[in-house]
Amino acid sequence: MPAHPDSLLFQPLTVRNRTLRNRIVMPPMVSVRDITKPDGIEWYERHAAGGPGLVIIEATGVPRFGDDIRPETLRTVVDAIHRGGALAAIQLFPIKFGLNPSVADTTKADIRRIIKEYKTAVEICLEAGMDGVEPHGAHGYLLNRFFSPADNLRTDNYSATSLENRMRFGLEIVRAVRKTAGDRMLVLYRHTPVKDDSYGIEDSVAFARELIKAGVDILDVSPSSKDAPGDQAAPFVGLGAAVITVWCLDEPGRAAEALGEKRADLVAIGRALIADPDWPEKVRTGKRDTIVRCTRCNLECFGNLKKGTPISCTQWGKSGGKAVGG
């Protein structure tokens, strides 16, 4: 009897010197919880226990490392994720999270400082036992704006006058991260493959090839299409790094399709894990009919995010759903 298509989701994957127990990733979703405090630690431990192979901690500004984030404070959340059986990575934001200065206002002194702060962040992550780090280069934030000709109005060697210049800042960060991490940690990079009319998939694939040369192990491609799961991630498969795809994959069949059609190596399940942290385990054990479904109402996830209060879900408590993190 052929294996059920959902079984693709539960095949282990070894990347560099780390093995993910399955192909399911909890993506970095801002929860408005302090990752070093009990509420944040509980949030991540609960989700790790639900069965994903990799948990990526939400975007965290590199200026925090060495300040309120130190090895001993970060180790508590890393250990909590490991107790749940998942690998732990963290998304590293180049500045204080919530800020997004223009490319033109970012001086070369700022660039040097940011690269230095990335190095410090990686050193602390290593000491805390983190399995991976992910520079955030997507969604119109600073690194993505350097890559985008529409946003990058500089006239120096970081300008949009050439693809080489547009890639420079992201590659400098990745090289610094890899040099600091050595072989002791996975390096991920989050990238938006197409941005309106500013740049297209060809530029992004060229960038991906250089990111891999610089030391990236996993390309986190965001977003993709509702129509064909993993479609925008597909051009990056086979370049030499594992590929994560995301967007509307809360139906197990869609997630398995992205893997089965070789459009991605890993699938990120976002809001579905807010609604039901046990989504992976329920799929694995054939209990799909008990999954608490995200209704895409956006009331207590995005709604709370806009208000600056910890995200939750209107579905918690229904059909076995369980609130987490307060």
Could you tell me if 8 and 36 are in contact, meaning their C-beta atoms sit under 8 angstroms apart? Answer: no
Distance CA 242, CA 53 (A): 14
Q: What pLDDT shows up at residue 53? A: 98
Q: Give the predicted TM-score (pTM) of the model.
A: 0.94
Query: Using 50, 70 and 90 to split pLDDT, how confident is the model at 4?
Result: low
Q: Is residue 302 part of a domain?
A: no
Q: What pLDDT shows up at residue 163? A: 97
pLDDT in tens, 100-141: 889 999 999 999 999 999 999 999 999 999 999 999 999 989
How distant, in Å, are the alpha carbons of 105, 149, 171, 317 from that of 102? 5, 13, 19, 43
Query: Using 50, 70 and 90 to split pLDDT, how confident is the model at 282?
Result: very high
Range of the domain at 259: 5-290
Query: Using 50, 70 and 90 to split pLDDT, how confident is the model at 36?
Result: very high
Residue 217 has pLDDT above 80, yes or no: yes
Residue 324 has pLDDT above 60, yes or no: no
Q: What pLDDT shows up at residue 198? A: 85
Mean pLDDT score, 36-40: 94
- Structure token digits, residue 177: 């991260």
Q: Is residue 307 part of a domain?
A: no
Distance CA 266, CA 230 (A): 10
Q: Is residue 282 part of a domain?
A: yes
pLDDT in tens, 164-181: 999 999 999 999 999 999
Q: Is residue 12 part of a domain?
A: yes
Domain count within the chain? 1
**Domain CATH for 173:** 3.20.20.70
Distance CA 191, CA 83 (A): 29
Q: Is residue 321 part of a domain?
A: no
Query: Using 50, 70 and 90 to split pLDDT, how confident is the model at 326?
Result: very low
Residue 223 has pLDDT above 90, yes or no: no
Query: Using 50, 70 and 90 to split pLDDT, how confident is the model at 78?
Result: very high
Residue 1 has pLDDT above 50, yes or no: no
Q: Is residue 270 part of a domain?
A: yes
How distant, in Å, are the alpha carbons of 35, 79, 202 from that of 46? 13, 12, 39
pLDDT in tens, 140-156: 899 999 999 999 999 99
Q: Is residue 124 part of a domain?
A: yes
Distance CA 25, CA 55 (A): 6
Q: What pLDDT shows up at residue 319? A: 53
- Concatenate the DSSP letters of all residues of 223-267 into one string: ---SSSTTTTTGGGTTSSSEEEEESS--SHHHHHHHHHTTS-SEE
The per-residue pLDDT of the chain, averaged, comes to 93
Q: What pLDDT shows up at residue 321? A: 45
Q: What pLDDT shows up at residue 2? A: 44
Residue 5 has pLDDT above 80, yes or no: no
State yes or no: cis peptide before 223, omega within 30 of 0. yes
Select the more confidently predicted residue: 294 or 188: 188
Q: Is residue 169 part of a domain?
A: yes
pLDDT in tens, 47-66: 999 999 999 999 999 999 99
Residue (of 325, 268, 266) closest to 301 by Cα position: 325
Distance CA 162, CA 147 (A): 10
pLDDT in tens, 24-34: 999 999 999 99
Q: Which residues contact 112 (CB under 8 A, 6 or more apart)?
A: none
pLDDT in tens, 234-260: 999 999 999 999 988 989 999 999 999
Kindly state the percentage of the chain with pLDDT values over 90: 84
Residue 320 has pLDDT above 60, yes or no: no
